[in-house]
A and B are shown apart, each in its own frame.
Chain A
Amino acid sequence: MEYNNKTIKNYEDFKPQLESIGRYGYFFITAMVMIIAWGTYALYTQLSKGQVVTGMRDYVIWGIYDANFIFFIGISYAGALISGILHLMRVEWRHPILRMAETITVVSTMIGPSYIFLSMGRLERVWHILVYGRIQSPIVWDVFAISTYLIGSFIFLYLACVRDLAFMRDHPVGVAKWRNSIYKFMSAGYRDTPKQRELLNQLIDLISIVIIPLAILVHSVLAWIFGMTLRPGWHSTIFAPYFVLAAIYSGTGVLIIVMFVFRKIYHLEAHITKNHFTYLGILLMILGALYGYFTFSEYLTNWYGSVKWDMEVLYRLFDTSTYWWWFFFSAFIGVLLPIILIAMPRFRSIKTIVFAAMIAVTALWVKRYLIIIPTLETPLLPLHDVRPEFASYSPSWVEWSLTAMGIAIWLLLFFLFSKFLPIIPVVRVNSADERDYFKLRKLAKERILRRMISKTRRDKGPVAGMLILLFLTSALVCRAEDPVHSRLKLEFLNKSGTHLLTAKLTSKKDDQTIPLEGMQVSFFIQGVKDKTLLGKGSTDEAGKATFTLPDKLDVPRNKDGKYLYSASFEGNKEYQSSESSAEIRDVFMKLTFSQKDSAKLINLFAVEINEKGDSVPIEGSTAIFYVPRTFSYLKIGEQPVKGGHADIDFPVTLPGDSVGNLPIIAKFEDNDNYGNSEVSATMAWGKPLPPMVIIKRGLGDTNAPLWMVYTLIVLLSLVWFHFTYAIFTIFRIRHLGKAALQEENASSATK
C-alpha cells in the first residue's frame, strides 16, 4: 500500500511522541497515578462507610458528583456534535481537530456515568436496573441513552482511526512489537482499495448523522431527570435544549483547551493554526451568546411570574450571602467575557481564545453546581424540622478527591491515547477522494440519509448558522425499685350469647397509663359462701386477659338476679396486687330488620333474666348501635329501650361489602346491670362497594404506557440498526482487505 509524501511527512511530526513518553511524560503519569490512588482511598472510604462521608444529606441529596456527571457528559459534545457537524459539512479545516474532539467524547462518556454510580447509595445493586428496570423512569432512559451513546462514540472514533491504524501497521519502525500487533488487528485489513474506501467513507458519514441526534437526546434525557420533578428551578420546559446548548458550549471550550495543550507539548504549530482557534473561538462566541440568551430567558420568566418557590431559588442566586458571586461568574462573566474577548479583533489571539474557553468551561461547571444545589436547598415546605447540617451543602474531602480522580483519569487516558495514535490524523482524505466519494454516495441505498447529506451540502454557508438551526431543532426533539401500684378492671362482655370476662391490667408510669403484658389474672365467681375459681388467663400487649364463661354456671343467682364475678392479679416483684369485680344480670338480645314504606329499620328486642330465671322485657336502659369497622366501632345511633324494644334507621349511606352487607351491633355499654352486652346481625342494605379498579399501565404503575414502550423500541432499534450495520461493514472491509492482500502477493509473485 502506498502513501503519499505528505502523509509520510505528517507522520514524521508525530513519530517522537509515539516512540517515547519523555521525562515530563513520566512525571505527569506519576502525578496522575498518585491522584488516582488517593481517589481510590476516598472511594474505599465511601463504599465501606456509606454516603455519610459525603457532604450530601436529606434535602441536598445530590452534590458535586452529579454536577461532574452533567459536566463530563456535556464536554463529550465536542466530538459528537462538533466533529459530526463539521464532517458532514466538509469543512476543510476540520481534519487536525477531529480526532481530539472524538477522543474527548469517548473519554468523557467513560468518566461521566461513573459519577452517577458514586451518587448511588447501593452500588452493588446496579444490576437491579436491568432486572427490575421501569421504562417510566428518566434514569432508565438515561441508562439506554448513555450506553448507546458510549458505544456510538467508540465506533465513531474507531472509524476515524482506521486509516491511521493501517498506516501505523505499515510503518512499524521503532515501535514495540505488541503495539504493532494491536495496530495490525485494529486496522481491520484496511488497504485503501476503492471498495474499502467507499465503505469506510460511507460509514463515517452514516455514524456522523446517527451520533448528532443521539448526542442531543442524551443530554435532553439528562435534563429531564431534573425537568420531570416538581422542583422550582428544575421543572422547566426549556431544560432539555438549555442543557444541550450548555453542553456544546463547554464541549467547544474543552476542545479549544485540548488543542492548545497538544499544540504546545507536541509542537503542532504547523497543523493547528491560529485559524483553528479563530474558527472555534467564533463558534464558542456564538454558543456563549445563545447560552446567555437561554439563561436570560429562563430567569426572566421565573422572576416575572414570581411564583413563591421560583422566587426563593432566585433570592438564593442573587443573595451575596449565598450564591451571588458564583451565579455572577457563571451567568455574567462566563457569557460576556468570552464574547467580548473573541468578538473584538483587537483582543483576539490564541491566548485570549484559550482563556475565554477556560472561563467558559469553569463557568459551566459552576452552572451545573448552581442548577443542582440551590434548588435542593429550596424545598417546597419550609426548612423547619431539619438539623442544621442538613439544610445546606458543602462537598466533603471524599467528594473533592473523587472529583480530582475523575479529572486525573480523564487526563491520563487522553495522554495515553496520544501516545498510541497520532493525535492528529496522519492519513488525510484529500479533496480528490472526497469528490470521488460524493459520486459514490449517490449509490447509497438509504434515501433519508442521502437527503440529509444533500441538505447539509446545499447550506454550506456559515458554519455557525447551521449549528444554530440544529440546536433549535433539538428543542423540538427533545425508656422500680418498690412494687408499683397496679390497677385491674373487670368487664363483662356478652357477645351474641357468648359470655366473656375481660380484665385489663394497667399501671402508671410518669402519669401515663401503661398496659402490663404477660401477667397472670385469675377469674372467680361468687357462690353461696365462697368464691370459685373459674379460670386463669395471661394479659396480652394491651394488658387484657380474657376468659370465656361456660354456657351453664353451677352457681345460683343472688337476690338481685345477678352473678358476682371477680378477677385478681396476685402481684409480683415489680407490681402490687390488685382486683376488680362486677355484678351482672344476664340479658337476652335479638336484632332484626324491618322495612316500613321506604324507611329501613333496625329492631332490637332485649329481655333480662330475673332471680327466678324468668325473662322480663328491659325498660329504660339505653341501647347504642354500631357498625364495626377495621379499627373501631362507628356509632350510628342510640335509643332507650321501651317495653323490650328499640328501633333506629338503617345507615343506608354507609358502604358495606361488594353486595352492601353491613354488620350491625346493638349494645348496652358499661351498664350497671348488664355490663357490656351486645348482639350483632348483618343486612345487605348498605351501599355496595364497587369492585377494585386496577390500572395496569401508567407512569406510576408496574408497566409503562404503550406509547413509551413503542417509542423506546423504535428509537433504540433505529440507532442499533446503524451500529450493527457499521460493525458488519467493518468486517466486510476486513474481508476485502484479505482479498486485496492475496491479490497483491499473487501479482508480486508473478513479477
Chain B
Amino acid sequence: MNDNNSSRRKFLKLGLAAGATALIGAGGKALSAVSGPEAGGKETGEKVKLLSPDGTLVEVDKGHCHSCPATGKEARQGIPNKKMVMVVDLARCRNARKCLEGCQSMHHLPPKIEWIKFFLLRDSKDTSPYWFPKPCFQCNNPPCVKVCPVGATFKRTDGIVLIDNDRCIGCKFCMAACPYSSRVFNWGNPGQDALPEGKKYSPETSWPQKVGTVGKCDFCPDMVRQGKLPSCVTSCPNGVYFYGDKNEDTVTNGTETVRFSELVQQRAAYRYMEELGTEPGVYYLPPVNRLFDYKVGFQELKPEEIDLYKKEANLSE
C-alpha cells in the first residue's frame, strides 16, 4: 500500500515538475487528465493505466483520472462549465462518409448501425442540391427528452443529450418525438464487441449498445473529458465539422481553430428547422462557394442508392 502510494506520488511530482504549465500542451495531454489529491480527486482503490510524459505507462488511482468516462449520476450531470456545439460547413461536404466510418470504429458499431446520416437536400426546384451530413442535433429543447417515460434519455448541463442503455425500456417514444429522425433502434442483437472485463458501462461512451434499446450520436463526451475531438471531426478529409465549447467561444475541425461567434456570424450559419423550437446545438454554414460539385458525392454509392437520392431531391437526369 505504501509502495503504491509512493510510486504514485513520484509520478505526480514528475508530472508536476514536467509541466506546471504544460497542462495544456500537446505533450501534456495525458498529464492533463491527472491531478493530485489537492485537486479534489478521491481515491477509489481502482487503478487506471495512463501514459506519462516520459513515455512510460503508469498506474494511477481512478479517482485522480478525469479522462475516464463518468458513470452513474455524474454521467447524467455533464462536464461542468462546458457547452458543446458543432458547426457543419456544407460548402466542404462531398458525401465521403468518412465521418460515419470514424464514428462506427470509435463506438465499436457494426456497419449496419449508422448514427450519422447523409441527405441530398434541395431547397427548391430552382436551387442546386447539396450534401447534408446529420449527426444528432443535441437540441437545447429536446423533444425526445420530454417524452421519455423513465428518464433514460436526458439533457446535460454541457448541452449533450445522452441515452442510458441500462435504463431504456424500448418504448421508442423518443424516436417518434425526434423530428430529425436522429435516433436508431437496436431491433436485434447489435453484434458489438463486448465491454473489456472490469470496465463499467457508461452512457458517455454509448458502448455497448443493447438489443431493444435506442441509440444515437452522443457528441462523444468521453473524448471531451480527454480533451480529444470526436472521431467524425478528425476523420473528415475535408474539415467539414467544427466542434468545440461555446463557453470558450472556440470551435475546431482539428486543423483550423476559429472563434465560434465569428464563424457563425460571418458565414450566416443557421440551425436546421429552427422553426420547430428545438434549439439545436448543431449549426450549419450555407453551401456557398462550394469545394465540390454535388455529383462527386455519388462516387461511393450504389446505383440504387443514387436513384433514391435523385428521386427524393427531384433530380430528373
Contacts and interface: CB of A to CB of B under 8 A. Distances in A.
A502 interface: yes
B142 A700 contact: yes
Contact of B118 (A116, A133, A379, A385): A385
B12 interface: no
Interface string B244-278: 11011110101001110000000000000100101
A749 to B, nearest CB: 61
Contacts of A680: 21, 24
Interface in A490-520: 493, 495-496, 498, 500, 502
Interface in A127-170: 128-129, 131-134, 136-140, 143
Contacts of A571: none
Interface string B38-54: 00000000000001011
B30 A121 contact: no
Contacts of B22: 495-496, 498, 500
B68 interface: no
Interface stretch (B181-189, B193-201, B283-291): B181-189
A620 interface: no
B27 A546 contact: yes
A389 B171 CA distance: 21
B244 A139 contact: no
Contact of A122 (B20, B151, B168, B181): B168
Contacts of A131: 150
A654 interface: yes
Interface in B43-95: 51, 53-57, 80-82
A122 B148 CA distance: 14
Contacts of A665: 24
B121 A689 contact: no
Contacts of B30: 540
A480 interface: no
Contacts of B36: none
B292 interface: no
Contact of A629 (B151, B183, B244, B278): B244
Given A121-B213, A231-B179, A634-B257, A381 B169 contact: no
Interface in A43-87: 49-52, 54, 56-59, 61-62
B224 A630 contact: yes
Contacts of B258: 634
Interface in B6-37: 17-22, 24-28, 30
Contacts of B308: 383-384, 386
A713 B179 CA distance: 31
B107 interface: no
Contacts of B118: 384-385
A540 B51 contact: yes
B187 A629 contact: no
A517 B185 CA distance: 35
A655 B119 contact: no
A729 B312 CA distance: 65
A353 to B, nearest CB: 38
Contact of B27 (A121, A139, A493): A493
Interface string A673-705: 000001010000000010010100001111000
A316 to B, nearest CB: 14
Given A122-B170, A229-B147, A384-B308, A629 B211 contact: no
Contacts of A57: 185, 187
Interface string A215-234: 00000000001101111000
Contact of B169 (A122, A231, A376, A629): A122
B295 interface: no
Interface string B220-260: 00001001110000000000000111011110101001110
Contacts of B247: 655, 689
Interface in A411-425: none
A548 B18 CA distance: 7
A474 interface: no
Interface in A540-573: 540, 544-548
A455 interface: no
A634 B276 CA distance: 33
Nearest to A523: B55
Contact of B185 (A121, A386, A635): A121
Contacts of B183: 58
A536 interface: yes
A496 to B, nearest CB: 5
A533 interface: no
A61 B119 contact: no
A120 interface: yes
Nearest to B14: A548
A131 B172 CA distance: 19
A630 B248 contact: yes
A62 B176 contact: yes
B176 A61 contact: yes
A119 interface: yes
A632 B234 CA distance: 12
A384 B151 contact: no
B37 to A, nearest CB: 22
Nearest to B168: A122
A751 interface: no
Contact of A52 (B151, B167, B175, B187): B187
Contact of A495 (B27, B117, B252): B27
B302 to A, nearest CB: 11
B143 interface: yes
B172 A119 contact: yes
Most A CB atoms within 10 A — which of B55, B151, B186, B276?
B55
A384 B307 CA distance: 10
A537 interface: yes
A628 to B, nearest CB: 4
Given A495-B21, A537-B56, A700-B142, A385 B257 contact: no
A535 interface: yes
Contacts of A498: 17-19, 22
A125 interface: yes
Given A384-B309, A631-B252, A546 B259 contact: no
A631 B227 contact: yes
18 contacts: A51-B170, A58-B175, A121-B186, A121-B212, A128-B150, A134-B149, A134-B151, A143-B149, A225-B173, A384-B117, A384-B119, A388-B304, A496-B20, A500-B53, A537-B55, A547-B54, A692-B80, A692-B81
Given A383-B312, A384-B120, A700-B141, 7 more contacts: A120-B212, A121-B169, A121-B172, A226-B176, A496-B22, A535-B54, A692-B81
Interface of B: 17-22, 24-28, 30, 51, 53-57, 80-82, 114, 117-121, 134, 141-143, 145-152, 154-155, 157, 167-173, 175-177, 179-181, 183-189, 211-214, 224, 227-229, 243-245, 247-250, 252, 254, 257-259, 273, 276, 278, 304, 308-309, 312-313
9 smallest A-B Cβ distances: which pairs? A121-B170, A537-B55, A121-B212, A52-B188, A139-B149, A628-B24, A137-B149, A132-B150, A382-B312
